Amino acid sequence: MLDGKVLLVTGASRGIGRAIALLAAENHAHVIINYNKSENSAAELVSLIEGKGLSASMIKADVSSEKEVKDMFSWIKEKYSKIDVLVNNAGIMRNSLLAFTDTEIFDQTIGINLKGTFLCTRYASNMMRKQKSGKIINISSIVALEGNEGQTVYSASKAAIIGFTRSAAKELGRYGITVNAVAPGLVETDLIKDIKPEIKNKMLSNISLGRIGTPEDIAKVVLFLSSDLANYVSGSVIAVDGCQTI
């Protein structure tokens, strides 16, 4: 489905980003695996993909750092001369009640989740505009739509991504670039490992499909949005949550 496409996934060393990168590679994209701290996991993923006779490379960049993002895109330009798909997936979640949420949590969460999405989109779209094509997929969350106790800052960062997605879609459409968001529900990754089992079970009882999502559930929707099947989809927010939000 993605033959010959160059696809960058931010935060692809673990969790949802890893599954997105793997499925894209299995669909014959050349995947660029961005990571920040988990170098070994990123290297293992490259080996796994190359072991299947498919194509991948990895690059370290903290998406909240303008310099590192700029360097990452200079490297992509030099090595591949193009970028077809950007998946803004890198994110953190630091839960705390508002009264206990200090400014450092705010700055870090907004820095990685929102500023990282802004920076990568700006650099990628500069290349895509010249190509007159491109697909950008931003990973939001259903808490952007619903809110959640203990997640004021996280949900704000994810809600901002939806506004950013819709505005960027309007601005970039004339260049043949689509911009969409995926809003996952609860997905089994390291991000949710500290949620207490009783709270997880309570959340589970609100999911019609009766199970927590897997990273692959999200990756399949991202694959669709990355492919030509979604050429007329832009500015959309797709919840992938087992029917938790309605």
User: Which is closer to ligand NAP, CB of 134 or CB of 242?
Assistant: 242
Q: To the nearest whole angstrom, how small is the minimum distance from the Cβ of residue 51 to ligand NAP?
A: 20
Phi, psi values for residue 178, rounded to 5°: -100, 150
Is 154 considered catalytic here? yes
**Residue 174 Cβ, how far from ligand NAP at the closest point, in Å?**
28
Residues 6+ apart with CB under 8 A from 95: 150, 151, 154
Distance (Å, whole) CA 16 – CA 20: 6
Question: For residues 40 and 81, which CB has a smaller minimum distance to ligand NAP in the complex?
Answer: 40
Shorter beta-carbon distance to ligand NAP: residue 3 or 190: 190
Choice among 35, 80, 123, 154 that is catalytic: 154
CA-closest candidate to residue 150, choices 109, 183, 111, 90: 109
Where on the chain is the footprint of ligand NAP (CB under 6 A)?
10-11, 13-17, 34-38, 62-64, 89-93, 112, 139, 141, 184, 186-187, 189-192
Query: How far is the C-alpha of 40 from the C-alpha of 150, rounded, in Å?
Result: 32
The structure tokens listed for 101 are 């949420």
Catalytic residues: 154
